[in-house]
Chain A
Amino acid sequence: MTPRRRRLFWVLGIVAGVGIAGGLALRAFQQNVMFYFDPSRIAAGEVRPGQRFRLGGMVEQGSLQRTPGSLEVRFVVTDFKHEVPVRYANVLPDLFREGAGVVAHGRLDASGTFVADEVLAKHDEKYMPPEVARSLQRNAAGATPAQPGKTAAAAAGVAATASGEAR
């Protein structure tokens, strides 16, 4: 082989290798990327049936229900406009509590209950996942006068605390 042909061979080989790896990575990416939805967007029907996604919002006060003696828990995630009931059957993270922000991974079942396979734990109890803070803030700002002002104000307060204290 002449040096020129050898170089061509190398370049073609490298391009093919990079192409294959890139294609496979892209495929894995498309199949496994998870989008984030808040309860309002779910209510708007943006989620495809059976799609795995991340649900974010606040755990509604007084919504946590336990089956005594088992791991099964149910709670409601709200963005102060819409609610989504959640079912989960693993150990909850340390920082999970009512009235705090939460992000859960899972799917919606036929009845509209979110079946979570993972509920996220974060280091800091003041920590609010940025996307949750943002959607709460948006909802608080866009709240119509018809809605109870108290909720909107509470949401705004929570969101402000969240973005202010995220550090």
Chain B
Amino acid sequence: MVVELGQYALILALMLAAAQAFFGLAGPALKRERWLAVVPSAACGQFVFVALAVGVLVHAFVDNDFSVRYVAENSNSALPLFYRVTALWGAHEGSMLLWILVLSLWTMALVGNARHLPAAFAARALGVLGVISCCFLLFTLATSNPFARLMPAVPDGNDLNPVLQDPAFAVHPPILYMGYVGFSVSFALACAAMIEGRRDQLWAHWMRPWTVMAWAFLACGIALGSWWAYYELGWGGFWFWDPVENASFMPWLVGTALVHSLAVTDKRGLFKSWTLLLAVTAFSLSLLGTFLVRSGVLVSVHSFAADPSRGIFILVLLVLMIGGALGLYAWRAPLMKSSAGFDFISRESFLLFNNILLTIAAAVVFGGTLAPLIADTLRLGTLSVGPPYFNPSFLVPILPMLALVALGMHARWRRGRLGESRRPLLLALGAALVLGLALSLGVYAHPLTLTPVGATVGFWIILSALIDPIDRLRRRVPLPASVAGMSIAHIGLGVFVLGITFVQSNTIQRDIALKPGQSAQLGAYQFRYDGGQEIVGPNYEGFRGQVSITRNGAPVTVLYPEKRRYWVQGTVQTTAAIAPAFNRDLLAALGEDVGAGAWSLRFQYRPLIRFVWVGALIMAIGGVTAVVGRRQGARVASGAALPLAAVAPGDIREHGGAP
């Protein structure tokens, strides 16, 4: 009975979303003031019912209600409680529910900050969010109902896929979705600005923090996913250019471009229509990502829904939403002319370069991801595109982009001068050259051609991001949050570049069959296989090997890689053992018993791999710093501008500007 409550809640949420969409869009258009007041209430109601539906499904999982098909397929009474809760997003139906929950969370956040926006504008944006929510609720109820019953009920469930029984998986999907879906707010604000045909650039000021937050979440989500794939899939890769990875990476690339072009639009009123187009594109790519993952059209490790009706439904939805937004853009964008000019070496042109190169990079990923799909549809044969295409093609636009970051950070608005930053910039470049060459030729020998380039660029970005904060510190001038955020994010980028450079050029991997006592040499490290034993876990049995690692004869660590067989599904899973450190990871994974007392084993040495994820995390921290700081800064500024005695604390927030 409780489960049916969940379905009713979803239906009610759908109705409220429809109300939110209708009153939000029709109210301002027909100038009905009273209709506007309905919109936030509808949004709140929608959130309550979506949360209720999620709560009901969680309850069904916790309660082991195997009369619910979704629970029976993705849970088991032997599954630990924690994973019974996270199993909620272990498959298609629950993931859609999570998508909707996240969308209504962002909607609530917009409702909470709507008082900083003109009423009609906020209503329109909420209306657009209502349309999106409507579509997804309809999709879930019509094609992927998580509350469908299983008749007759089964005594026990089919268990959660073992690779998903992992703490990182518990947080990866929600955070990734926070990013993915977060771009819906940018999209909604862009649509509202276009519907109103606003000629000013205030919308860019309002859109900025939302975009940066979504972008930061997405960076975290992608990094978490990569980290999870690295240790959980068992074979030590951290990025496969898998369609689903690309699906989250494309919105991030376009989102990065959007964050930068918003800066120009906000500060200088330029690139208005380009910024709008990027906002539409970022969210369209999020939708496309959902389509790619959920419709099962692409061969991927993540695609679990292969129901064609779902694919067609999402495709129609995609065409309607993206087509609608682009139509709106074609109609309204000519209104948004920018008149101001700028010099060749001004910050505007560097940000323009950044945008062009990031867009090209996104297009490269887009082409490689969709080519198999297009070739298949046109019956040109079944083909696949892998890292040999993505790696070089992606580097072509990205390397110049990275090389320009340091200059772009210090270029002046409008004027074609680097001014007094020229000397420190050159100093930073010199230091970066020395550090980069020392690291790539000295510490890590046998590099690729691009290794010194990557190392130098990485160091240059980090060092030049430090120029401004150090300068302000020396002059004892406070560091504005926006500058701090930008510096932190760019330092993160530099750290990330260093990580990728050395992981790509200095990783050593060996697949080898070893008998107990035999060993393999990877660079300075010696991996010795000591044998192993049978083990039994809570819901699996398996074999645990022991691998002793020494470096130049000195013991480093002992690793215990496992091979597990989960009872319920009979799935065999490789659990790699990893010895992480600041400057390198050592990995050992068990293959199989190859006879004659030997096991096949995979050993890896990966230098600086932690820098890749830590770099992404620092970027995200930079974004959050800028947003949170801007909020507080605005509050302090407005508080100082008004006689403090005359206003209540609540009023200060009222005047605080955009979040």
Q: Which residues of A contact B (CB under 8 A)?
A: 3, 6, 14, 17-18, 20-22, 24-25, 28-29, 31-36, 54, 66, 68-71, 89-92, 94-95, 121-125, 129-131, 163, 166-167
Contacts and interface: CB of A to CB of B under 8 A. Distances in A.
B188 to A, nearest CB: 30
B396 A71 contact: no
A70 B572 contact: no
Interface in B376-403: 381-386, 388-389, 392-393, 396-397
Nearest to B361: A21
Given A25-B367, A125-B570, A166-B296, A91 B385 contact: no
A94 B573 contact: yes
B393 A167 contact: no
Contacts of A122: 301
Nearest to B92: A167
Given A32-B389, A34-B386, A95-B572, A21 B360 contact: yes
B305 A167 contact: yes
Contacts of B384: 33-34, 36, 54
Which residue of B364, B393, B569, B573 has the most chain A CB atoms within 10 A of its CB atom? B393
A71 B513 CA distance: 6
Given A29-B389, A31-B389, 5 more contacts: A29-B368, A69-B595, A71-B513, A71-B594, A89-B511
B307 interface: yes
Contacts of A123: 161, 163, 301-302
Nearest to A14: B356
Which residue of A17, A20, A122 has the most chain B CB atoms within 10 A of its CB atom? A17
B234 A94 contact: yes
Interface string B344-369: 10000000000011001000100110
Interface of B: 92, 161, 163, 233-235, 296, 299, 301-302, 304-307, 341, 344, 356-357, 360, 364, 367-368, 371, 381-386, 388-389, 392-393, 396-397, 511-513, 515, 569-574, 589, 591-592, 594-598, 600-602
A94 B296 contact: no
Contacts of A71: 511-513, 591, 594, 600
27 contacts: A6-B341, A20-B396, A22-B360, A24-B393, A24-B396, A29-B385, A32-B386, A34-B386, A66-B594, A68-B598, A69-B513, A69-B595, A69-B596, A69-B598, A70-B598, A71-B591, A89-B511, A90-B511, A92-B592, A94-B573, A94-B574, A123-B161, A124-B304, A125-B570, A130-B306, A167-B92, A167-B305
Given A28-B392, A29-B385, A94-B572, A21 B92 contact: no
A134 to B, nearest CB: 8
Nearest to B597: A69
A14 to B, nearest CB: 6
A28 B304 CA distance: 30
A21 B572 contact: no
A-B residue pairs, 6 tightest by C-beta = A69-B596, A68-B595, A91-B591, A32-B388, A36-B382, A68-B596
Contacts of A125: 569-571
A167 B309 CA distance: 13
B183 to A, nearest CB: 24
Which residue of B234, B385, B513 has the most chain A CB atoms within 10 A of its CB atom? B513
A124 B92 CA distance: 14
Which residue of B341, B360, B384, B572 has the most chain A CB atoms within 10 A of its CB atom? B384
A25 B364 contact: yes
A39 to B, nearest CB: 14
Contact of B389 (A33, A35, A69): A33
A122 B572 CA distance: 11
Contacts of B385: 29, 32-34
A70 B594 contact: yes
Nearest to A95: B572
A71 B570 CA distance: 24
B341 A3 contact: yes
Nearest to A122: B301
A69 B367 contact: no
Contacts of B595: 66, 68-69
A53 to B, nearest CB: 9
Which residue of A20, A28, A32, A91 has the most chain B CB atoms within 10 A of its CB atom? A91
Contact of A35 (B163, B382, B513): B382
Contacts of A20: 396
A17 to B, nearest CB: 7
Contacts of B513: 69-71
Which residue of B357, B589, B600 has the most chain A CB atoms within 10 A of its CB atom? B600
Nearest to A18: B360
B299 A28 contact: no
Contacts of A28: 388-389, 392-393
Nearest to B301: A123
A167 B569 contact: no
Contacts of B367: 25, 29
B356 A29 contact: no
Contacts of A94: 234, 571-574
A32 B392 CA distance: 11
B394 to A, nearest CB: 9
A3 B234 CA distance: 57
A131 B360 CA distance: 30
A121 to B, nearest CB: 8
B381 A35 contact: yes
B295 to A, nearest CB: 11
A33 B234 CA distance: 26
B360 A17 contact: yes
Nearest to B302: A123
Which residue of A21, A25, A90, A122 has the most chain B CB atoms within 10 A of its CB atom? A25
Contacts of B392: 24, 28
B305 to A, nearest CB: 6
A3 B344 CA distance: 11
Contacts of A91: 235, 511, 589, 591-592, 600-602
Nearest to B388: A32
Nearest to A124: B161
A95 B594 CA distance: 16
Contacts of B382: 35-36, 131
B592 A33 contact: no
B641 to A, nearest CB: 38
A33 B371 contact: yes
A94 B575 CA distance: 11
Contacts of B364: 21, 25
B307 A167 contact: yes
A10 B292 CA distance: 35
B293 to A, nearest CB: 13
Nearest to A33: B383
A28 B389 CA distance: 5
